[in-house]
Amino acid sequence: MVALVASIVRTQHLIGILRDKRPWPSLRNLMAFLAIGYGVYLYAIVANIPMNKDLIAGEIFFLAALFMLLVVQYAYQTIHDILHLDELKQLANSDELTGLFSRRAILKRLEDEFQKAGRFGFSMSVAMIDIDHFKAVNDTYTHVAGDEVLREVAKVLQKRLRKFDVLGRVGGDEFLCVLPGTGDVGAMTTAERIRERVTELRFEIVAADNLRVLKNGEETDKETFTTTVSIGVATMHSGIENTTELVRASDVALYAAKDAGRNKVMLADVEDSAC
């Protein structure tokens, strides 16, 4: 009975030691206790020392069970931490409002696609998209309404792109599309599809800070407004040496579309983009 009480006291003391320890020191200490227990048990058998071997064996099995419990617990915590880090990484790579790639993430993907295209001789284009008169939307219908317009335009962009195209938000109302394996004709066709679909968007003013997207042909007696986009397209060629120059070329084409009256798609001039 005395030995059993002593065993319980030692076990409680051990649990108290491990309770506030970080994972690896706790496991290390528990492994040390296990090793000592096995050593004492084997010594008692070899030396034929009269002692309660069953009690010692019971303590060893209990420690082994406690060790496995801690391993499982720490393994679960490690998996949870890994998933949390992955979630944080996803959040860092995503634009909170639209769910698209963030500026940093889309530029990284652009760099990857640019290197791949150069290495294998593939064509590649980018399209810089800007919502026309977006400041007026914010000023007239509030920023909440402006956010809804951004989300709806982002949905249109996603639906009009291929699965392997890459899309991100690079500014307040600017989006960048990376179009791998696409030359100027294909990029212009894609950009024109996007422009046309955006012009079909109609927003109903339900109440202050509340918009509703109208379906095609749907009638309403409330105030409505539409939006358009201007798009600058640039294609990778021998005059463009890096992604900075490629994005700059699409920006030049975008401003040309703005200057031409907005709601247009313009292709970057090879000579201008090489400057």
Alpha-carbon gap, residue 257 to 266, rounded angstroms: 6
From the list 143, 152, 156, 157, the residue with the least C-alpha distance to 210 is 143
Name the catalytic one among 139, 173, 209, 269: 173
Kind and range of the H or E run holding 133: none
Q: What is the rounded radius of gyration, in angstroms, for the C-alpha atoms of the chain?
A: 32
| Residue 214, strand partner residues | 202
CB 65 within 8 A of CB 37: no
CB 95 within 8 A of CB 168: yes
Report which DSSP code applies to 214. E
Phi, psi of 62 (to 5 degrees): -65, -45
Q: How far is CA 27 from the centre of its chain?
A: 35
Residue 194 exposure: Cα atoms within 13 Å on the Cβ side: 33
Active site residue 173: yes
Look at phi and psi of residue 203 and say left if phi exceeds 0, alpha if psi is from -120 to 50, else beta.
Answer: beta
CB 232 within 8 A of CB 268: yes
- Say which residues have a Cβ less than 8 Å from residue 175's Cβ, sequence separation at least 6: 100, 128, 129, 130, 153, 154, 157, 167, 168, 169
Alpha-carbon gap, residue 252 to 238, rounded angstroms: 18
| Active-site residue set | 173
